[in-house]
Amino acid sequence: MSTNPTIDSCTVETSDGVKLHTTIFKPNQYEEQEKNSWVVILVHPYSILGGSQGLLRGIANGLSRKGYKAVTFDMRGVGRSTGKPSIFGFKEIKDVVAVCKWSIENLSVNKILLVGSSAGAPIAGSAVEQVEQIVGYVSIGYPLGLMASILFGRHHKNILKSPKPKLFIMGTQDGFTSIKQLNNKLRCATGRVEKHLIEGIGHFELEGPAYDSHMVNLIVDFIDSL
């Protein structure tokens, strides 16, 4: 599929009244009926360090070209979303849950793949068990290292204990998480756990547009395996 997606925007309200600026990428046609039942929801990097849904636009656009609906959104306090960002990312879990529930109700889908990038990965991971229709999870550069764990360590157990299938994508030169730290954490994970390492790539390189198409292919392959 190579046609340009239809891109719409809307406002999604959270359970505590925050209004989130949300963007929906819809394929203009579907090659397979099975793809109609899926939506990929992408959770952006750390709000306090400038993370926004714009960083995930390339991946969302690529997924829609592959025939999948994709949704990005600005978490609270970012862009046109109301509210204030939280330091540890716990209030933002409500943002993820709200967008997931809105998608189920409004996009004619019944299966969600939740994708988190950088600090969005622990936040997304904490939402996985809160929405029944989330059937899989992908992390892009999950910050598992010692310093990052000061901020996001309390999220770790939520995804590691989830029985839902998980894929962790990381560059071998991540900077925030070593391969040893990743392997140690994944040893105690429940259920199906996969990892994909990209040799010689750092944390912010992995987030960059040069790797968008690679991320799209990994995400689509993971969906196909579910």
Estimate to the nearest angstrom the gap between the alpha carbon of 97 and the chain centroid: 12
Handedness of CA 200, 117, 130, 217 (dihedral sign): negative
Mean pLDDT, residues 32-51 taken together: 89
Distance CA 163, CA 154 (A): 18
Burial class (CB in 10 A: 0-12, 13-18, 19+), 130: middle
Q: What domains can be seen in the chain, in order of their start residue? A: 6-225 (3.40.50.1820)
pTM: 0.95
Residues belonging to the chain:
226
**pLDDT tens figures, 44-78:** 999 999 999 999 999 999 999 999 999 999 999 99
> Which of 27-36, 102-111, 169-178 comes out lowest in average pLDDT?
27-36
CB atoms near residue 85 (< 10 Å): 18
**Beta-ladder partners of 8:** 24
